[in-house]
Every structure is written in C-alpha cells, then in structure tokens.
Amino acid sequence: MQGTSYVHMLEGRLRIKVSEIKGSADKAVEVEATIRELRGVTHVKANSVTGNVLVLFDSEETNHYHIIGTLKDLGCLSKLSPTVPSRSAHAKWTEALAGPIAQMVIERAILALI
C-alpha cells in the first residue's frame, strides 16, 4: 500500500518504506546511488515494486538519522513530520543515550512520527 509508514531499525541495519520510489525505477536507482555513497554504507537495495529501502551500514561510520536525513534531502519521506531531529541533533542523542535502550527509543520515536 502506497503511503504506509514502516521503519525497522537494528544496529547497522535500516529498512524503511519510501513511497516515492514505489513504481519509480528511476527514483529507486537515484536513492541507491546516493545512499551507497554515504560513508559506512556497505549495502543498499531500493525496491521500486515494494517501495522498501534496505540499508546495511557500519554503525561506527554512520547512523540511522544520517541515512533518513539523506532520504529526506532526496525529496523522499514527505510524510515524515518536519519535527524529525536533524542529523546534528542525533549527535546529542547519541551522547545522552547508549546501547540497546537507546536503539529502542530511537526506533519508537521515528515510528511515532511517521
């Protein structure tokens, strides 16, 4: 279903529904190429049939917020609230929260905003 919100995050892994690529092979290729260039990204697959984007990355090099911010910069995730924290705000979160509890809090916050 187009417009359905879905984000699943684990350490070093992000799967997110990006309605802007559903049915658009060109946009999916653009997303893959751009995300692939991010430091620390080891694998990216944007599926224009399902609208899902899967990103595997080294969490020492990048993070979920950076990837999601890049998707927003590409004009994707238009349904996300503008109150999603910026990439620089993530650094403050990282300092304040650590480990699996932080991961759960971040995942639930993004899901609540979608």
| 26 phi and psi angles, rounded to 5 deg | -65, -45
Residue 27: is its pLDDT beyond 80?
A: yes
Q: What structural domains and CATH numbers belong to the chain? A: 7-113 (3.30.70.100)
From the list 3, 76, 71, 72, the residue with the least C-alpha distance to 36 is: 71
Q: Count CB neighbours of 67 within 10 A.
A: 22
| 12 phi and psi angles, rounded to 5 deg | 80, 10
Q: Which residue has the tokens 């999916």?
A: 28
Band (109; pLDDT cuts 50, 70, 90): confident
Take residue 109 and report the two structure tokens written for it: 């916050």
- Give tens-digit pLDDT for 2-19: 444 678 888 899 999 998
Q: What is the pLDDT of residue 24?
A: 94
- Give tens-digit pLDDT for 43-94: 999 999 999 999 999 999 999 889 998 999 998 887 654 444 445 555 554 5
